[in-house]
Structure 1
């Protein structure tokens, strides 16, 4: 299929129109700020490796990046210590348990399995080269900005709400420290991790961040080299294994693209060498993935025939990616 701007825009418009009426889910309630976000907000965006953007709906509304930030801190830490060391210390396997699970740590001697759950994400933060807390935070924020191609900012309101409720993550950080899987002060890592989840992005920002990965590590809008191309396959593999939490297998089975979600309502999927699809809608399913955003990204991916696992000429899988059998 020819991925021209007209075809992509039609797919984006159709996904926004068709998924607007999809019901179900609820805003994350354990973080007060997220509970207060307008649940009717809904944006869809695609950015190609040539830098072309196609958007629909509330694609310029800012929302908290939350767990999608893990992808970009993973990239920063992997670049700092190298992919072999990163894999040895953090891992690349799904936990099979919720993203904030303590049981997953206990089952593996207080060591993380993936950088895309909270435990591994805080370990990733601790691997970022820095002399102190502020330098560590600055390097992570600058990485987000480079991927997005604009001045991403920390929301004081989101961060205050997160810091006031992150007791569970503090406990996980100490468990990691006890297991020898924390490479800085554990409370520093937890603090910086909480900040990285509290930045504000738009749906178009998120698609640009994904397109930077799709383009081999160079931002297609600013043309800035953000991360080495040799790291991109590792980033995409991690996203495939755990990016959609306990729905990651279902997402790969039915959508066929690496993805990442966040409890702020964002969903991102990357088609390597082609484009990235992003969507935003606050109401989440029980796993923590946005109901509308998942549906919209899946619909665009199918409309543009992007599955990495599809044999050319084969029909579309007759499965709803949001329904488990």
Structure 2
């Protein structure tokens, strides 16, 4: 059977997979992220012609969490150059959890990739800016530009919640500083890190950002926001490590570059075709939207969009 992308298909997939939310959970280690109702689910897709398709709770705001890591990686490469960035952090997948310290202790103090928390904290330290506020202003403004939404802001409640309870991330940062991997002052880097993870946006915003990465850095209007080579590097990292120790399963079952976040978001990139944004706060045991994983799997299969 041949399927075409339309709102009716998205409605069907959302309602088919929404019951999975009952099998998931909310991230209790960030108290402010336990507020959403688990049954929420929404998807937004924009293709390279500018056609948009939406379903469900695609306009509800949520925090970007680890999806911000692709934005900060992009900025660090633009600020410092590819060679320097990947001299401080690797580009290899890992089977360890996203917040694990084990890779740093067992093999090297340099994090294996920029998507795990240790790697993202190092990447955050590489972004230009004299102060934490200046760095954060640059990250926020770049995010707004990618999403074509000047109203995007930081959710202060979530930021405070993460800053108060993010003990594993704090310990990672101090370990990295002690190993001379982290640049700058630890507390300043952590403030920037927790703030960019607390950026609030919608699935529609995520789709706009994803479209830029699908078009080798060009916006829908044709403006070159990211150099093509940088865009390809980030897409490659997403494909290998965007879902941490679930990345292989996602690549096998879904088959597109994508990034998850424990806020319930998934950003998906279909190169030269479309950008996808999904929101569903109920998470599986790996920290991925449990509804989003299965919706994207069936969507990509029906439309034959896998890159593999």
TM-score interval (norm. to shorter):
over 0.9
C-alpha distance in 2 between matches for 1:98 and 1:301? 26
Q: Structure 2 matches for 1:66-77, cutoff 5 A?
A: 66-77=65-76
The within-5 A match list for 1:198-213 is: 198-213=198-213
**Aligned mates of 1:295, 1:26 — CA distance in 2:** 16
Structure 1 unaligned segments of length 5 or more: list them. 310-325
Q: How far apart are residue 223 of structure 1 and its match?
A: 4.4
When normalised by structure 1's length, the TM-score is 0.90
- Whether contact under 8 Å (1:111, 1:180) holds in the other structure is no
**Greater mean deviation of Cα atoms: 67-76 or 15-24:** 15-24
Cα distance in structure 1, aligned partners of 2:202 and 2:285: 24
Question: Counterpart in 1 of 2:40?
Answer: 41
**In structure 1, distance between residues paired with 2:11 and 2:54:** 8
> TM-score, length-normalised on structure 2?
0.95
1:287 counterpart SS class: coil
- Residue 304 (str. 1) matches residue 300 (str. 2): no
Per-residue CA deviation, residues 249-281 of structure 1 (Å, 9 max, x unaligned), is 011112111111000011122111111222111
Q: 1:90 and 1:108 mapped to 2: Cα distance?
A: 13
Query: Structure 2 matches for 1:16-165, cutoff 5 A?
Result: 16-22=14-20, 23-151=22-150, 152-165=152-165
Partner of 1:235: 234
Structure whose residues are more often helix by fraction: 2
Q: How does 1:160-171 map to 2 (within 5 A)?
A: 160-171=160-171
1:57 Cα offset (Å):
0.3
- Kept in 2, the 8 Å contact 1:110–1:178? The answer is no
Contact 1:73/1:143 (8 A) holds in 2: no
Residue 244 of structure 1: aligned partner: 243
Question: CA separation in 2, counterparts of 1:58 and 1:71?
Answer: 24
Q: Is the 8 A contact 1:207 1:276 kept in 2?
A: yes
For structure 2, list consecutive stretches of 5 or more residues without a partner in the other structure: none
Kept in 1: contact 2:19–2:39 (CA 8 A):
no
- Structure 2 distance, partners of 1:181, 1:47, is 39
